[in-house]
Amino acid sequence: MDHVADVELDPPQGATGDCSARSIESPELRHWSACMRELSLHILDAVQNSLEAGATLVALVIDEDLPADQLTITVRDNGRGMDEATLARVRDPFYTTRTTRKVGLGIPLFQAAAERCGGGLTIESQVGRGTTLQATFQHSHIDRAPLGDITGSLLSIILGGTCDVHYVHRVRTGRQGDRAIGDQGGDDLREFEFSTAELKAELGDVPLSHPAVREWLRQFIAEGEAALFTR
């Protein structure tokens, strides 16, 4: 995950190599944080990191545990991973491994969004094996951004055509009688899951980018997401 947000911004005057002196809450960066009003935008950026790291498979899991009042977003890839030195600097908003970008706002903004909502962000990575990013939020926190256009973000990722996506969205309601989509999970768990590898196998030579398939995908994802919140 070594790509960062597509933002051109010079470090503020007097910035040094000390990450602690360059907070995401600084006046120079605060307005960029305000631009990320939906969590789907953070997810899209995180997956773009995976693609830039050469991932051929990205697993995206959104877990909404309403009884525990927690939202967890996990992005796991099989990209080239990061060494310890890179991993130690990846939260610095003025560090990026990309030669076409001056700053790396994506991960710091995601972390700031999580921390504002009583959560946090963790990153685990191993060279040659991939990276796992996980952000947690207090689900009911007044400052938690909505998930937003998950359908649009997923379509953007899938139609990019450079990797397979395994997507899972779980909602634990705490209400008896709820069943997961596809009869999976427990009484209080709803789940929407799909894999582009399986979709491609079913379609054969027809690409996911085919206009008819693209429209079916849009409806399939939108209906799957809507069913999570409809009794």
CA-based R_g, the chain, Å: 18
The domain locations on the chain are 24-227
Which run of H or E residues covers position 195?
Answer: strand 189-195
| pTM of the predicted structure, to 2 decimals | 0.79
CA 218 to chain CA centroid, nearest Å: 19
Report the alpha-carbon distance of residue 110 to residue 200 in Å, rounded. Answer: 31
- Select from 63, 49, 32, 33 the least CA-distant residue to 157: 49
Provide the pairing of β-strand 120-126 with 130-138. antiparallel
In words, the CATH class of domain 24-227 is: alpha beta
CA atoms within 13 A on the CB side of 146: 3
For the chain, residues with pLDDT lower than 70 are: 1-36, 92-105, 175-187, 231
- Select from 225, 127, 116 the least CA-distant residue to 167: 225
**Sheet strands (E) in 117-180:** 120-126, 130-138, 164-172
Beta bridge partner(s), residue 120? 136
